[in-house]
Every structure is written in structure tokens, then in C-alpha cells.
Structure 1
Amino acid sequence: MTPLVRLSGASYAYEDGPPVLSGADFAIAEGRSLALLGRNGSGKTTLMRLLSGGLRPVSGTLLLDGSPVTYDRKGLTRLRSSVQLVVQDPDDQLFAASVEQDVSFGPMNLGLPREEVRARVDAALAALDITALRDRPTHLLSYGQRKRAAIAGAVAMRPRVLILDEPTAGLDPDGQERLLEVLAGLSGTTVVMATHDVDLAFRWADDAAVLTPSGIRTGPAPQLLSDPDLLVSARLRPAWSPVVAAVLRAHGLLAPGATGPGTPQALAEWQAGTASGTGGADAVGDAVRDANLG
């Protein structure tokens, strides 16, 4: 199947600087959530801007539906109608006086009829659960609300690919979970999330891409993010869930190949579920303490 978006042999260097990416091959498959991971300076932001047309590769090609993207007005409009990037800091993206005005800006620039713009804004606000904030001045929003408003502006463009740069950064745990629920409900949109949070990527993404000094490694998230050597090479800490699963298997508490708990909360619930007179809960607790995971 042809990827929605693909970079082929792409290289990029900023003026008077060394190459950030060199001969990079990277593809976004339709309908599969993708986590993009790497240390600061690894090229994540550059890669996202190349994919969304904010930067043009020095060499190589960006393809949309298998056709090369041109960097004239027509070509970039075609790309940005399909691919939207939401930057990490919502204050770098929000600029209009109210939430509704900000969310409507993109669709209006597409020259859509007023009724279509209104329908897209309504749908985007509902999807991000901020309909009640429609008339709220953007400068009076909380940080989490500003994050949602910025994402709603991209969602209103009805993109096929939504690229989010550290969308959970600065959010409390409840805010993170609510945002993940929102992203899961975006039908018809493939979500790409850049994050430093390996645990989040492990439990959220179908696929992962890890930027290392030797290039980009891609594959199914559960397998790729269970590779400790790969994560060390990318200067990322190990994912919590595979470590827990390995400890539980070593103690005979998890069958080979079975999926382990993805979060500490899930581990606690799983432990409680083993307490039906088998002593399993105590065994889980002992395993967790032995591994210093509690």
C-alpha cells in the first residue's frame, strides 16, 4: 500500500550548520498511530517540518500519495490540506481573539463556503471537547485548553495526517489521558506524535520511529520500544511496561507472549485481580519490590 506521506532520501542542514538529516527515508502509513522519538537535537522537529512542508529538503523528495510535492502555492496548498502540524507551544500557534476565530482561520483561508466553515469549526470544537469555550478569549484559556484549541484549529482543516509536537508536555496526568482519548476519537485522521515519553509511546502507538545517530529506525511500537540497546543509542530511557512484563514472566506470573500491564495503575488493577485466594497478589507485590518497580 502506498504511504500517505513519504520522505525519500531526504537531507537537510540549516545555514552554516552540519546536516540534521542525511538520506532519510520515512513513511506514514494510513490509519496507524505513529510515535516519533529522539533526544533533543536528534532532528525530530526538522523531520516534522519537512513532512508538513514548512521546510524543503536540500536533497531527496517528499511524496504525498506517491506523487512528488511541489513547493509552489498549488503544491503546498495540496500538502497542507492533507498534512497539519501542531507545534509544541500553543502560544506559537494561537493568534486570534477568540477560540472560534482561531479555529475558523484555516478553513476560511481555503475559501470554503461559510456554512462549511461553520460545520468544520463545530465538529473540531466538539472533537476536542471545547465547544463551551467557543467565545472565550484565547488569552484567558488555561494551558491545557490552549493545547486543545491549537489542535482543534488543525482538526478543522480535516487533515488526513495530524502531526503533534509533544502534545502532552505541560499537561497533568488527567489532562494527558483526556487528550489521548480525544486523539483516539479522531476518525479518518492518522496521528503522528513526537514525544520524549517512551512509556506513552509504547502504550499509545501502533508504530514507532526512533531517531538515532546512525539513522531512523522504524517498526511496530511494542517490538521497537522493547529494544534496550536501541533506546540507549537514542539516549532514551527504557520503557516501563516491557521491563515489568519481563519481571512478571521471570516470576512465573505472566505467560510467554502475553501483554503485560502498560501503566502502574494497570499493574495495581492486575495485581488486585489475582487476589482470588491464590496468593497471586502477594507474588506480584514481591516481584515488583524485587525489581524496584513499586
Structure 2
Amino acid sequence: MKPLVELAGAGYAYEDGPEVLSGVDFAIPEGRALVLLGRNGSGKTTLMRLLSGGLRPGAGALLLDGVEVAYGRAGLTRLRTSVQLVVQDPDDQLFAASVEQDVSFGPMNLGLPEPEVRARVDAALAALDITALRDRPTHLLSYGQRKRAAIAGAVAMAPRVLILDEPTAGLDPDGQQRLLDVLSGLRAAGTTVVMATHDVELAVRWADDAAVLTPAGIRTGPAPVLLSDPELLASAGLRQAWSPAVTAFLRARGLLGSDSPGPRVPEELAGWPAGSGRAGSARGA
């Protein structure tokens, strides 16, 4: 599958500091839910800023649709209409007086006609389920509402790739699920979503693919495979998730076939027939 966005041999070092990333080959394929995991200081934020054009590689290149990105005004505009980054703290991103004004800022800055700006704002507010908040002052929003307003501002740019830095951090379980439902809707509408998180449980539940940042470099692959590797997770300073651990336990005891998917959440175990000795599927199939 041809990647939408790709770093080729990329490296980056902050001024007067050591190299954070070196020789990175990393691609975002279209239509996949991709999760980035790693300990603090592993380079996740740097990687996301390189992918979105906030930083320029000190070595190597960033490619969009196979074409190297130019870092002039035209090149960055082309990149940022395709790739949007939403930072972890919504207060670092929201600045306008009202939700509608904030969400409309990006499309207006592109010089789009007013009817198109209005249509994009309406669609973004609806996608994030905050239409009722359009006139609300941003400083009167709850934390979860501010998170969704910040994401709506990025969605209004109609990006092909949406990169989210710790989007569920600070949200209660209900708020997390509502946000995940929103992301499912965005994916169904054609947006490729990339999420950085420390939450391995969430990553197992949500992602198709994973990229794990370790001191030895970046490992990428299908999320169920990578996130079942205890040694890899330990090298990245991450705990093993419930789902892979339980799946391994069930297979070791003959309760789950080698080709059957394991449970992703505890609730999926509830339907298993007691004493059956083997389950054809942990999903109640």
C-alpha cells in the first residue's frame, strides 16, 4: 500500500542537544488506524512534528504522496492541508473567543470562500458532536469539550491524515469512549488517524498498526503482533496489555485455538461456555 506520508532516512537534533531521531524510515498508510507508543523522551513528539511540518528533518526527507515536501510557503500549505496535528493540551491550540471562531480560523486562513468555510465548520462541529457549543466561549468549555473543539479545528482543514498527541489523556472512561466513537466516525469518512499514547490497553483495542519507539529504533507492524511482545514493550518502558497476556494464557491451556482472535476487553469473556475446554473464538463466535 502506497504511503500518504513518509519519512525517509530522517534525523533530527534540537539546538545544542543530542540527536533525538536518526535514520528513521517511517510511513503512514492510507485508511489504517496507527498508534505511536514509547516512553517519555523517546521521540514521539519530535516524530509527530516532523510528519506535520512543525519541524524540518536535519537529515533525510519528508514525502507526501511520494513527493518530497518543500519547506517554503506553498510546500507547507500543501502539507498542512493534508496532515494536521492536534497537540496534547487543548489550551495550547485554542485561542479564539468562541468555538466557531476557533474552528473557522484554519479554513479562513486558506483563503477559502465564505460558504465553504461555513460548510467545513458545520461539518467539523457535527463530526465532533459539539454543534450545540458553536457560540460557547472557549474558556467556558469543560476539558473534554476543549479536546473536541481542538480536534474540530483540525478536522475543518479536511486533512487526509489526523495526528493526535495523547487525545484521551485527562478524560474519564466515558469521555474516552465518546472520543473513540468520534475517531471511528472520522475514519469511516475517510480520514487516516494516528494516535500517540502511553496506554497500551487502548492501543490494543483501537489500532490496526503500531509503531513502538525504543532506544534501538522504531519497530512497526500489526498492532496485535507488536503489542504481544513483552520484551519489546519492556524496552519501550511500557506495560503489557491485558488482552495479549490473557490470549497467551488461554492458548497455553488449550482454551483458545491458535488461529482464533483473543479477547480485547474483559466483557468478551462473558459469553464463553463454562467448561467447554476450548473456545472457537473469544468474541463469542
| TM-score under structure 2 length normalisation | 0.94
TM-aligned CA deviation for residue 2 of structure 1: 2.4
- The answer to whether the aligner puts 1:259 opposite 2:266 as a matched pair is no
Aligned to 1:213: 215
Deviation at 1:129, TM superposition (A): 0.4
Q: Which moved more, 1:87-96 or 1:236-245?
A: 236-245
Residue 39 (structure 1) aligns with? 39
Structure-1 residue corresponding to 2:135 = 135
Equivalent residue, structure 2, for 1:198: 200
Matches within 5 A, 1:140-151: 140-151=140-151
Deviations 1:47-105 (A, max 9, x none): 00000000001110000000000000000000000000000000000000000000000
Q: Which amino acid in 2 is paired with 1:171? A: L
Counterpart of 1:89 in structure 2: which amino acid? Answer: D
Structure 2 distance, partners of 1:41, 1:120, is 36
Which residue is 1:76 aligned to? 76
* Matches of 1:36 and 1:91, distance apart in 2: 22
Q: Once the 2 structures are TM-superposed, how far is the Cα of residue 245 of structure 1 from its aligned partner?
A: 1.1
Q: Which runs of 5+ in 1 are unaligned?
A: 285-294
Q: Which amino acid aligns with 2:199?
A: D
Q: Match for 1:243 among 242, 245, 268? A: 245
Instruction: Indicate the larger mover: 115-124 or 243-252.
Output: 243-252
Q: Deviations over 1:100-125 (max 9, x none)?
A: 00000000001111100000000000
1:263: Cα distance to partner? 1.8
Rounded to whole Å, the distance in 2 between the matches of 1:138 and 1:204 is 29
Length, aligned pairs only = 277
Q: Which residue type is aligned with residue 192 of structure 1?
A: V
The alpha carbon displacement at 1:280 in A equals 5.7
State percent identity of aligned pairs. Answer: 80
Over aligned residue pairs, what C-alpha RMSD do you find? 1.5
Moved over 3 A (4+): 278-281
Q: Which residue does the alignment assign to 1:288?
A: none
**Unmatched segments (≥5 aa) in structure 2:** 280-285
Shift of 1:175: 0.7
Letter in 2 for 1:274: W
Tell me, in whole angstroms, the C-alpha distance in 2 between the residues paired with 1:184 and 1:87.
19
* Equivalent position SS for 2:81: helix
CA distance in 2, matches of 1:274, 1:215: 40
